[in-house]
Chain A
Amino acid sequence: MRDEPVLQGFHLTRSFGDGETRTYALRDVSLGLKKGELALLMGPSGSGKSTLLAVLSGLLEPDSGQVLARVDGDAVDLWKLTPRQREHFRLKHCGFIFQGYNLFPALTAEQQLEIVLRWGEGISGREARERSREMLSLLGLSKKCHLLPAQLSGGEKQRVAIGRALIKNPQFVFADEPTSALDWTHGEQVIELLRIAAHERGATILVVSHDHRIVPFVDTVFHLEDGRLQEAETPVDVPPPGVRFRLEMPP
């Protein structure tokens, strides 16, 4: 399934500030993610993990370097697109899960998903509702469709956030610390759902986290330190069968 990379970053560099205050969040980073791959990006605070996720997902422009995405048989240079084209690219192909749940307090679980389909793709209310219920059902929330975020547990809220990211059936999913606000029982459920989304739905998923307990569930682990990709350290946890670690070297 995973032969050619479908999302590649080449020599990505990103700095913040000017002159003497300039600091580099990314220094010549290159990596590739394959279709159906669940990848984990680890590193200490300030190592540039979130910056790399933002650059790869089309949210933050790099100072230099290239991001190539292969969609529908075409290679798209993400940072050569106009802002509107990039917005459209994200609409069609990207899902996001951020730290915290970021759910509208006034909307029910199914409305949180519906809104993405109706506002993004102009899908009718009825179809959007059906697809949202179907997705929530897959996430084990069929009985919680009509509940507001305040009536859901932390784990349930994060599952709704995952549903919102997956409802468009995106080719790429970017998750920033998706388990940080959860206890491990719920965190494990979340990462398992992401693994299923990658392996069964064929989504390419990049997870940024400092949570080592995730490591056994992922296909690939990238380590970032001081803005550079490092060779992976031997994980403390024993990886389950089939899990492998790989260090992507710049081409």
Chain B
Amino acid sequence: MSYTLTTLWHDRQRYLPGILAVAFSALLIALQCGLLFGLLSISTIPIDRSEADVWIGPQKVLSVDTGQPISESKLVSRVAGIPGVTHVEPYIQRFSFWEKPGGGTDLCIIVGCRLTDDSIGPSKVLPQELRDRLTEEGSVVVDESELERLDIQHAPALLAQGRFASAKINGRPVRVVGLVKGMRSIAGPYIFCSLFTARSIMKLGPDQTVYVLAKCEDPAMAPRVVEQLKSSPLQQEEPDMSVFTKDEFSHKSRMHWLLKTKGGLALGYAAALGLLVGLVVTSQTLYAATMASMREYAILLALGIPRWRLRWTVVTQAFWIGVFGVLLSIPATYLLGELATHLGVKPLLSAELMAAAALITLGMAMFSGVIALRSLKQIEPVNLLR
């Protein structure tokens, strides 16, 4: 074992605050980002739950729920002609206004898609029975957690009696024919319905859609299909068209929400605070530890051991404090993540996020070692003689 690790183990009580501070920073960054990403992922449920590999939408579309109507027939037939594309269908998703039975309105998101078994839209989140019910015009399905917001708390009781709660969207009457679980949204409740109902609510023509979805023979072909569409004559004919792979569109939509809601700023601020706490505690721990070994370091300097060797030792200590802190933070993050999930907020703790949090915190620990180097400046071997 190296002298650094031997020292860390021997004086573990001295170094523990530093290790805990690093762990705290890593946990804070990972969990906060995970919670935010988890929240943002809700905004792209329709994309992520769809089986479409390519999304074709209006020009300069910012996120999945802000699209404008585009022409369906021309796009569908042309996209279907691209080699590798096996299935094409229209899909409607837009903001609208839910008129509450008791008065007042609230924002909602209309999700209109094909209801057939071979649909590649997000309708698969609904059981067959609900999809069948949605084929009737004016029928909608909502998430059971949104009932209060939509002012239809009585919907379950009515459903149990075989009746439906009524409301209006955009002035059109709708009936809540079923409830679904786990489809909460950030901006407004998702309102699942057929394409026909969606067009009726949004007052769109029969040839209008908001997106055209395409499925490829192999999802890995999606980037090539996107490139082909972008360079095809179709793009010149339809300059208002944007084309994305499923992952690109999901990422673009999440980033839009991240920036629009200033969530990124809040996240950055909180994470910076966590890092600052870690930095101060770790550098002070290392400073105090180095000062405690001042006389031993001084004698090494007297013996001609170069000062850089001692600096390297302090930075190495910082590195190992970082490593132990990060290792400690990993199970703690997952444990608290589970707890948050139980409380109804699921953090998205991807391997990339955990790696990024570990690297940032490790960098912070090393930097705290560099800050603690000021302690070595105070060490002069001649002081041992006074």
A76 interfacial by beta-carbon distance below 8 Å: no
CB distance from B195 to the nearest CB of A (A): 72
Contact B384 A95 (CB under 8 A): no
CB distance from B315 to the nearest CB of A (A): 14
Residue among B7, B303, B381, B384 facing the most chain A CB atoms (10 A cut-off): B303
B293 interfacial by beta-carbon distance below 8 Å: yes
CA distance A115 to B2 in the complex (A): 10
Contact B11 A120 (CB under 8 A): no
A120 in contact with B304 given A102-B299, A104-B7 (CB within 8 Å): yes
A-B contact pairs, 30 of them (CB 8 A): A57-B302, A59-B302, A59-B381, A87-B306, A87-B307, A88-B304, A91-B304, A91-B306, A92-B304, A95-B303, A96-B299, A96-B302, A96-B303, A96-B381, A98-B299, A98-B302, A98-B385, A102-B299, A104-B3, A105-B10, A105-B11, A106-B10, A107-B3, A111-B3, A111-B6, A116-B303, A119-B305, A120-B304, A168-B303, A176-B384
Look across to chain A and name the residue whose beta carbon is closest to the beta carbon of B380.
A59
CB distance from B141 to the nearest CB of A (A): 66
CA distance A59 to B9 in the complex (A): 33
A23 interfacial by beta-carbon distance below 8 Å: no
CB-CB nearest 10 A-B residue pairs? A91-B304, A106-B10, A90-B304, A50-B385, A106-B7, A59-B382, A102-B295, A96-B302, A98-B384, A102-B299
A224 interfacial by beta-carbon distance below 8 Å: no
Q: How big is chain B's contact interface, by range?
A: 20 to 34
- For chain B residues 152-204, which have a beta carbon within 8 Å of chain A? none
Contact B300 A115 (CB under 8 A): yes
Interface string of B288-326 (1 = CB under 8 A from A): 000001011011111111110100000000000000000
Contact B11 A60 (CB under 8 A): no
Look across to chain B and name the residue whose beta carbon is closest to the beta carbon of A50.
B385
- For chain B residues 271-294, which have a beta carbon within 8 Å of chain A? 293
Residue among B10, B303, B304 facing the most chain A CB atoms (10 A cut-off): B304
CB distance from B191 to the nearest CB of A (A): 66
B260 interfacial by beta-carbon distance below 8 Å: no
Interface string of A168-204 (1 = CB under 8 A from B): 1000000010000000000000000000000000000
B342 interfacial by beta-carbon distance below 8 Å: no
Look across to chain A and name the residue whose beta carbon is closest to the beta carbon of B293.
A104
CB distance from A128 to the nearest CB of B (A): 11
A94 in contact with B304 given A103-B296, A106-B11 (CB within 8 Å): yes
Taking CB atoms, residues of chain B closer than 8 Å to A53 are 385
- For chain B residues 365-386, which have a beta carbon within 8 Å of chain A? 381-382, 384-386
- For chain B residues 340-386, which have a beta carbon within 8 Å of chain A? 381-382, 384-386
A99 interfacial by beta-carbon distance below 8 Å: yes
CA distance A238 to B295 in the complex (A): 37
CB distance from B355 to the nearest CB of A (A): 32
Taking CB atoms, residues of chain A closer than 8 Å to B301 are 87
Taking CB atoms, residues of chain B closer than 8 Å to A164 are 299, 303
Taking CB atoms, residues of chain B closer than 8 Å to A100 are 295
CA distance A89 to B296 in the complex (A): 20
- For chain A residues 110-150, which have a beta carbon within 8 Å of chain B? 111, 115-116, 119-120, 148
Taking CB atoms, residues of chain B closer than 8 Å to A232 are none
CB distance from B18 to the nearest CB of A (A): 16
Look across to chain B and name the residue whose beta carbon is closest to the beta carbon of A90.
B304
Interface string of A55-79 (1 = CB under 8 A from B): 0010110000000000000000000
Contact B296 A102 (CB under 8 A): yes
Q: Name B309's contact: one of A89, A119, A148 (CB within 8 Å).
A: A119
